[in-house]
A and B are shown apart, each in its own frame.
Chain A
Amino acid sequence: SYELTQPPSVSVSPGQTARITCSGDALPKQYVFWYQQRPGQAPKLVIYKNTQRPSGIPERLSGSNSGTTVTLTISGVQAEDEADYYCQSADSTGVVFGGGTKLTVL
Chain B
Amino acid sequence: QVHLVQSEADVKKPGASVKVSCKASGYTFTDYYIHWVRQAPGQGLEWMGWIIPNSGDTKYPQKFQGRVALTSDTSLSTAYMELTSLKSDDTAIYYCVREDFDFWGQGTLITVSS
Binding site for B on A (CB under 8 A): 1, 33, 35, 42-45, 48, 54, 86, 88, 93-100
Known: A42-B107, A86-B45. A48 touches B100 (CB 8 A): yes
Query: Which residue on chain A has the smallest CB distance to residue B102?
Result: A45
How many B residues face the partner with a CB closer than 8 A? 20
Known: A95-B35, A95-B47. A45 touches B61 (CB 8 A): no
**16 contacts across the A-B interface (CB closer than 8 A):** A35-B45, A42-B104, A42-B105, A43-B95, A45-B100, A48-B101, A48-B102, A54-B102, A86-B44, A94-B50, A94-B59, A94-B60, A95-B50, A96-B47, A97-B37, A100-B44
Binding site for A on B (CB under 8 A): 35, 37, 44-47, 49-50, 59-62, 95, 100-102, 104-107
CA distance A83 to B49 in the complex (A): 25
